[in-house]
Chains A and B, each alone.
Chain A
Amino acid sequence: MSQKETDILSVLQAKFKDTSVQVQPQQLGKVAVIADATTYRDVLKALLEADEKTAVIAITGIDLGATLGVFYHIRTSTAGIITIKVEVPQEEPRLKTISDLMPGAAFDEMEVTDLVGVVFEGHPSPGRLVLPDNWPDGVFPLRKDAKLDNLQFKPTPPSEPASPGNEDIVKIIIGPQHPALLEPEKFALKVEGEIVKDVQPRIGYVHRGIEKAAESRTYLQDVYLVERICGICNACHATCFVEAVEKILETEVPPRAKYIRTILLELNRLHSHLLTLGHAGLEIGFETLFQYFWRDREPIMDITEIISGNRVISSGMTVGGVRRDINEADIPKIKGMLTSLRKRLPFYKKVYEDEPSIKMRMKNVGTLKREDALKLCIVGPTARGSAVDIDVRKDEPYEAYGEIPFKLITYNEGDTWARMNVRMDEVEESINIIEYALDNLPTGPFRVRVPRVVPAGETVNRVEAPRGELFYYLKSNGTAYPERVKVRTPTFANIPAFLATAIGSNIADVPPNFVSLDPCFSCTDR
């Protein structure tokens, strides 16, 4: 462990020496802390004091039999991931909320309430998050004894009237079917004139119950399942999952597989960023920009098809390596396509930096200050646009990122324009990474055999998806089926940023603001 990590460990050990809190190094990230319902808030406060960049990554709810476990996964800038494990009895599942200490944890708590049934006292806005409105009460899908056949759905509650009370405030509902959104989610905006006064999100339209489904499929089948959490960042989900399994199995993946995985991951990032940059054009009415970006995005899809056989969902990862090797004969063609894309980049960069109508629509829109970004636990390009320099590829290198040089991009302005420019620059970095990887591809096998049955254990893992940090918690129980798979996607963490920046802005600023955080609701709802 590095010096700083040891510090956190010794701080925790010193502070909680004589209490019931147990500190376990090298468990579930860098440190696992076993606390109970009375002490976990103190542990969190200690971590917050020690490091300003402490943030809640995720809260896992898990059915442990007699008790319900609530695991708080905390990210610190110096010590990686620290997990605080708390258990509450099944008959009396109540805990105090931590959203007063960390506002960004509010969403996570709502999800645990929905899926496992733990009630968080003092939560600012309790309610359904991912389950539908007509879900029957008392049925918690992630509990082992949940009866999910023949559910008796409640009648759908009526929607609120259009103009509640105050005549000046008009309620505008964006979604579930709306041209600005590719996915169904509902945002109820309360506007006065053209200024947005309040935003109430309702997500859960894309909740497919993946975490529960993962428990009834083998690890190999789960790779295909988690890939389809999101078609846009599919390689990242697959990678995070297989890496977690490999950590429990303590398998060493061959170097060639690591490089191929890196290439597929960066191709994912490229196509996702180009998608967003073009989509932003649509949102501000700049159709021409959208068409140009997507035209130049097509070669990336072709490259993905050459390497993996499919344009979108590459299915390249498997436990122990990658499924297909890269054909050496294809490499010159791939590099040729990347070179022609690279030639187009200065033109696009100039458009995003200098074009007056883009600047009018994007500058000073949705500004998120650095302190707010830290408090709300924002990740990814959204955070990097507000001068927060977090990137899992640099903080905790995985696959081949430790060996490949690349730059971490941040901008200071914190507005929509900055966020889009972060993505624009990352496009160039991604092309650099892929070319480096192709040039330095190690020889050797591209996968190793792994056993079908995974011994009991638990681990956490994270990768840098195009939208930010993607986090998985995996628990295995000695069979061929996982015990619990918990996914925390970057958009889930970033939605509070949108809510905070949308209030007080124009209606017309809402779409560009929305696109700049690059929402992916199929990731969020799972």
Chain B
Amino acid sequence: MFCDWVERKIEARMQNRMGPTFTGPGGILQPFADVVKLLTKEDIVPGGAKKTIFRIAPIISFSIIVFAISFLPIDGAAIIPNSSFAGDLIFIMALITIANFFLFLSGWASANPYSDIGASRLLTQFLGYDIPLVILALAPAFLAGSLTIASIAASQYLPFIILAPWAFVLFIVTLQAELEKDPFDIPHAESEVVGGLETEFCGGKLAFLRLTRDMQIVFGAALVVELFLGGPYGPVFFGFPAFWYFLWFVLKLLAVVVVTEYLTCLFARLRIDQVLTANWKVLLPLSVLSLTLTVAVATWVYPLVM
């Protein structure tokens, strides 16, 4: 929710406005107010919707993402201690895919043509961009020699953004698509499909859908932090290391959120066929290239340099 506030403020400032200001100091409680208000509204389920899926899909997708985030080390150790295991990078990426699939289901269950279009666009875009995302994520995995997030984060004596900058840049671009932000925000393009898959939802379920989207942003940014920016590790000055690790993590997270939001404000929205072209013809080859390059550089160049 805090990230939602950060995003809205950045978007507003880029557009020469102020953004939420009066709800709490500096508008910081705005997303909180949004969620509470949504939870207290009347709940309407459209007559033609598939009721069970309509009711539970938003909650399930939200829970899955929260579950996935819990695997990311935040303060030197994962939230659920000792929960990291070998290969958990792939595991949480699979979890995110499942969560998005539940988002698609909620749109599909809405019995509204706008929701259908929005949901199918979401799935097309997400599944398409998932592949380059995984390939790009393999670059830091290779550099660290492991598929466990905790060890990837820990083995960054030099943050991987410096060692593999090409992977970082491409990862950020792919992340924009995964998070449905401009220029890739076609699944919830207001001017075409009204609310996209969210059109028929109101009240509490809408709150969960919105929260899911916010959590995805947090998750994406956190992943970038873990994979490229050295995780929560940073200089410890005094007191508990756990506190400092947490602080560094939050700061790096916010930096990534700022960057992605900045990109959002700069671009218009691409059409779905342009999005797909960008994926299959541009990003996929580039991500394979980046992996090859990382392998090549790591095997031959870096041992010479270090």
Contact = CB atoms under 8 A, between A and B. Distances in A.
A361 B189 CA distance: 14
A295 interface: yes
A509 B273 CA distance: 11
A289 B269 CA distance: 12
A283 interface: yes
Contact of B192 (A162, A288, A510): A510
Contacts of B17: 291
B185 A285 contact: yes
Interface in A250-298: 281-289, 291-292, 295
A282 B189 CA distance: 10
Contacts of A358: 268
B277 to A, nearest CB: 10
A178 B193 CA distance: 9
Given A282-B191, A287-B15, A292-B15, A506 B271 contact: yes
A179 interface: yes
B271 A509 contact: yes
Given A162-B113, A172-B113, A511-B192, A291 B268 contact: no
A220 interface: no
B16 A285 contact: no
A139 interface: no
Interface string B182-194: 1101100111101
A511 B16 contact: no
A291 B16 contact: yes
A410 B85 CA distance: 65
B192 A284 contact: no
Contacts of A355: 268
A357 B194 contact: no
Contacts of B16: 291-292, 295
A51 interface: no
Most buried by A among B116, B185, B194, B267: B267
B196 to A, nearest CB: 11
Contacts of B271: 360-361, 506, 508-509
B270 A288 contact: no
A71 to B, nearest CB: 39
A406 to B, nearest CB: 31
Contacts of B270: 357, 360-361
B14 A288 contact: yes
B15 A508 contact: no
Contact of A357 (B116, B183, B192): B183
Interface in B242-260: none
A194 B272 contact: yes
Interface in A326-366: 355, 357-358, 360-361
Nearest to B12: A291
Contacts of A506: 271-273
B191 A285 contact: yes
Contact of B191 (A180, A288, A357): A180
Contacts of B189: 285, 508
Nearest to A357: B268
A284 B269 contact: yes
A404 to B, nearest CB: 33
A383 B156 CA distance: 61
A281 B192 contact: no
Nearest to B269: A285
Contacts, number: 78
Q: Is the interface of A mostly helix, strand, loop or mixed?
A: helix
Interface in B53-97: none
B186 A288 contact: no
A170 B113 contact: yes
A508 B272 contact: yes
A425 to B, nearest CB: 21
A319 B189 CA distance: 47
B14 A507 contact: no
B40 interface: no
Contacts of B117: 172, 507
B185 to A, nearest CB: 6
Contacts of A178: 194
B281 to A, nearest CB: 14
Interface string A504-518: 001111110000000
Nearest to B265: A288
A176 to B, nearest CB: 12
A231 to B, nearest CB: 21
Interface string B1-31: 0000000000100111100000000000000
A67 to B, nearest CB: 48
B260 to A, nearest CB: 15
B162 interface: no
B282 interface: no
B169 interface: no
Contacts of A510: 192
Contacts of B15: 287-288, 291-292
Contacts of B269: 284-286, 357, 361
B52 interface: no
Nearest to A179: B190
Interface in A356-380: 357-358, 360-361
B229 to A, nearest CB: 27
Nearest to B15: A291
Given A284-B269, A357-B183, A180 B192 contact: yes
B236 interface: no
A291 B18 CA distance: 12
B113 to A, nearest CB: 5
Nearest to B16: A295
Given A281-B268, A287-B15, A291-B15, A508 B183 contact: no
B267 A357 contact: yes
Contact of A283 (B183, B191, B273): B191
Interface in B156-189: 182-183, 185-186, 189
A361 B268 contact: yes
B276 to A, nearest CB: 10
Contacts of A295: 16
Interface string A294-323: 010000000000000000000000000000
Contacts of A508: 186, 189, 192, 271-272
Nearest to B191: A180
B192 A286 contact: no
A415 to B, nearest CB: 14
Interface string A159-193: 00010000000111100001110000000000000
Interface of B: 11, 14-17, 113-114, 116-117, 182-183, 185-186, 189-192, 194, 265-274
Given A285-B268, A361-B269, 15 more contacts: A171-B113, A172-B113, A172-B114, A180-B190, A286-B182, A287-B15, A357-B267, A357-B268, A360-B270, A360-B271, A507-B117, A508-B271, A508-B272, A511-B191, A511-B192
30 contacts: A162-B113, A171-B113, A172-B113, A172-B114, A172-B117, A173-B113, A179-B190, A179-B194, A180-B191, A194-B272, A194-B273, A281-B268, A283-B191, A284-B269, A285-B189, A286-B269, A287-B11, A287-B265, A288-B14, A288-B266, A291-B15, A292-B16, A295-B16, A360-B270, A360-B271, A361-B269, A506-B271, A507-B192, A508-B271, A508-B272
Kindly list the 3 A-B residue pairs having the minimum CB-CB distance in the complex, ordered from nearest: A285-B269, A286-B268, A291-B15
